[in-house]
Structure 1
Amino acid sequence: MTWLVYLPLMLPVLLVPAARRATAAGRPETAARALTAAALLAAACSTACLVLLTATLVDDLPALEQHEDRAAIVGRVLPEPIPDSLALAAALLLVWLAGRLVREAWRRDRAAAVLHDAGRPNAGVLVTDWAPARAVAVPPHRGRAGHVLVTTGLLRLLDARERAVVYAHERAHLRRRHHRVAALAAAAAAVNPLLRPIPPIVDLLIERSADEDAAHNAGDRILVAHTIGKVALGGESAHRDVGGLGFHGSATVRRVAALLTPPSGRALPPLALAAAGLALAATGAAFIEFAELAHAWMPAH
């Protein structure tokens, strides 16, 4: 196969700078979903190319050399044989990436189970007697419906209007199923480590989306911005629970700035779309080359 089979393995690096620009998108919900879709496409293409490289371990194609017409195809499609060491490395890499994907899925499943085990919600809300000011959208898990978990520390910190902002924010996460968007972005990064910066960006975008819903519900963007800042300054020092969606200090400044001066950037920069499209095109071309090679190989056997 030609160099096209290697291209999709590296193209995700173009997605990262484009994704960073998307943090200022005026439509964060659209940007989060588009970025996740682009990351999944890039991850699928790189995985497919690793599979093609691994498939060359099946046979070294010795019989093709005895047929001039087939040898011509090999000379065009596979100008230099892919070393067995490279194909074996691709196979081992696939196994490692599969393990990363399974581990990520298990980690999120375990986090959701722990959050559900914290107690039984009442009218979709569970109040836990924890000192840190926390609010989390607990995703549905194994037949159990999603709900909002808030701590007594948060309730003591906020007044009635601010609590309403929190509830609207967390319910927006549940209504829009942001846990799925975050999980898919994390899965893409698991199968292609070059996409590792993407999940935090998607997390920021879905937080901003929930902020917009809360602002619409409250009719007061300044109130939502004030609530975010108050929670961040109220001592939320505990690290984020994996799988939980809520208020977090790491992106507070960007979220507050977006509420006070709504950005108007594009949902997803053209570079991100171009990178995903190019990865798809290169993968398609690599598959065509491989199919042509396989077609020439099969009659020889």
Structure 2
Amino acid sequence: MHYAVYLPLILSMVAAVAARWPASRLEPHLATWLLTATAVALAALSGIALALLTSTLIGQIPPLAHVGRWSAQILRQDNPASLTAALVAGTLLTAALAASARVLLLRARAILDAARMARDLSTAHDVVVVDDHAPDAFAVPGMPGRIVVSSGMLAALDPRETQALFAHERAHLTGHHHLFVGLTDLAAAANPLLRPLAGAVRYTTERWADEDAAAVVGDRRLVARTIGKAAIVTRHHDRPAAALALTGRGPRRAGPVPRRVSALLAPPPNQRRMLPALAIGLLAIAASATFEATRDLHALFELASLP
């Protein structure tokens, strides 16, 4: 447990540094799944690691030791974690649980608000046009979801560009991209080291929608031109917190527009098997290390158990 318990935290730092690599080199659909799974797994494993370190301190509290029928003195003598490490871990674990609960509540409320808005936008089609001269467009998840576009945006785009815009927003809805964004936001709240992965997933979901739109309209350059034009003319109004849009949203834009345009002007991304295999291998190592640390802690409490 001396070293294994820290491995998920170390790999979280490695993942943060390397997040942009799969986001820019993998096919966006695969990159989104891989980054999301990695973020969620590392958040869970690092949380377990903090809990293991904290438990070595909690176990030394005399009333708890009496209830659990183990020797606090033996735990103190054979404790693999220092008092400072256990205190820091307990503080971080408390902060992570509080931040996760807050993000989970806010995200659930955002999805419910978006679903309510989508339901209230009663229409025979999935596109709702609002009379507003300010160009804007976004997808609102729901059952079913809706695409909201302003008259100003329709006036700014030609018919083919409008088709590309709608194809992009529909890809957000059919791909349930808000769930990937929500999961990685939750993982980043539990482990702030994973924030670069959350940002990368916002980018890859946009690239996923870009590629789907290009497949629908059959013209990658058209989608690239539409993204560039929409980014120039869009003026963001109040959108549901769970909404996704062609140009991103607010200060946390879903990836720089120039990177997305450059990707569309380049050949379609190829499947690369090495990166997913490497990520899966590292996660397997982290999970094994966490399991080994858990066994060691269990053995310590067994050793400290009173007859």
- TM-score category (smaller protein): 0.7 to 0.9
**2:270 corresponds to:** 264
**Against the structure 1 CA distance between its residues 14 and 188, is the aligned structure 2 distance closer, same or farther, given a 3 Å change threshold?**
same
Match of 1:280 among 284, 287, 291: 287
TM-score, reference length from structure 2 = 0.83
**2:138 corresponds to:** 136
Higher relative contact order, structure no. (Cα contacts within 8 Å, ≥ 6 residues apart): 1
**1:50 corresponds to:** 50
* Correspondence 1:199-238 to 2 at 5 A: 199-236=198-235
1:96 aligns with 2:95: yes
How big is the shift at 1:258?
1.1
How big is the shift at 1:80?
4.5
Once the two structures are superposed, residues 187-219 of structure 1 have per-residue CA deviations (whole angstroms, 9 ceiling, x without a partner) of 111100001111111111111111111111101
* AA at the equivalent of 2:27: R
**1:124 corresponds to:** 126
**1:68 corresponds to:** none
- Provide the C-alpha distance between the structure 2 equivalents of 1:23 and 1:293, rounded to a whole number of angstroms: 42
**1:63 corresponds to:** 71
Counterpart of 1:24 in 2: which secondary structure? helix
In the alignment, is the contact (CA less than 8 A) between 2:161 and 2:222 conserved in 1? yes
Counterpart of 1:133 in 2: which secondary structure? coil
- Provide the C-alpha distance between the structure 1 equivalents of 2:33 and 2:239, rounded to a whole number of angstroms: 22
- Provide the C-alpha distance between the structure 2 equivalents of 1:21 and 1:12, rounded to a whole number of angstroms: 15
How big is the shift at 1:126?
2.1
In the alignment, is the contact (CA less than 8 A) between 1:36 and 1:185 conserved in 2? yes
**Against the structure 1 CA distance between its residues 233 and 167, is the aligned structure 2 distance closer, same or farther, given a 3 Å change threshold?**
same
Counterpart of 2:25 in 1: which secondary structure? coil
TM-score, reference length from structure 1 = 0.84
Once the two structures are superposed, residues 138-182 of structure 1 have per-residue CA deviations (whole angstroms, 9 ceiling, x without a partner) of 112xxx432212222211211221111111111111111111111
* Correspondence 1:169-184 to 2 at 5 A: 169-184=168-183
* AA at the equivalent of 1:109: A
- Provide the C-alpha distance between the structure 1 equivalents of 2:179 and 2:24, rounded to a whole number of angstroms: 22
Counterpart of 2:57 in 1: which secondary structure? coil
Counterpart of 1:266 in 2: which secondary structure? coil
- Provide the C-alpha distance between the structure 1 equivalents of 2:81 and 2:121, rounded to a whole number of angstroms: 61
Counterpart of 2:139 in 1: which secondary structure? strand
* AA at the equivalent of 2:295: I
* AA at the equivalent of 1:63: S
**1:15 corresponds to:** 15
Unaligned 5+ runs, structure 2: 249-254
Unaligned 5+ runs, structure 1: 66-70
**1:290 corresponds to:** 297
How big is the shift at 1:23?
2.2
In the alignment, is the contact (CA less than 8 A) between 2:136 and 2:234 conserved in 1? no
* AA at the equivalent of 1:17: V
How big is the shift at 1:79?
5.8
The number of aligned residues is: 288
**1:191 corresponds to:** 190
* AA at the equivalent of 2:16: V
**2:251 corresponds to:** none
How big is the shift at 1:16?
1.9
- Provide the C-alpha distance between the structure 1 equivalents of 2:136 and 2:92, rounded to a whole number of angstroms: 39
How big is the shift at 1:93?
2.2
- Provide the C-alpha distance between the structure 2 equivalents of 1:266 and 1:239, rounded to a whole number of angstroms: 39
Stretch of structure 1 that moved more, 241-250 or 21-30: 241-250
Once the two structures are superposed, residues 207-242 of structure 1 have per-residue CA deviations (whole angstroms, 9 ceiling, x without a partner) of 111111111110111111111111012244669864
- Identity over aligned residues, as a percent? 38
In the alignment, is the contact (CA less than 8 A) between 2:56 and 2:79 conserved in 1? no
- Provide the C-alpha distance between the structure 2 equivalents of 1:193 and 1:218, rounded to a whole number of angstroms: 39
Stretch of structure 1 that moved more, 273-282 or 14-23: 273-282
Aligned-residue Cα RMSD (Å) equals 2.8
**Against the structure 1 CA distance between its residues 55 and 64, is the aligned structure 2 distance closer, same or farther, given a 3 Å change threshold?**
closer
How big is the shift at 1:259?
1.1
- Provide the C-alpha distance between the structure 1 equivalents of 2:47 and 2:15, rounded to a whole number of angstroms: 16
How big is the shift at 1:64?
7.9
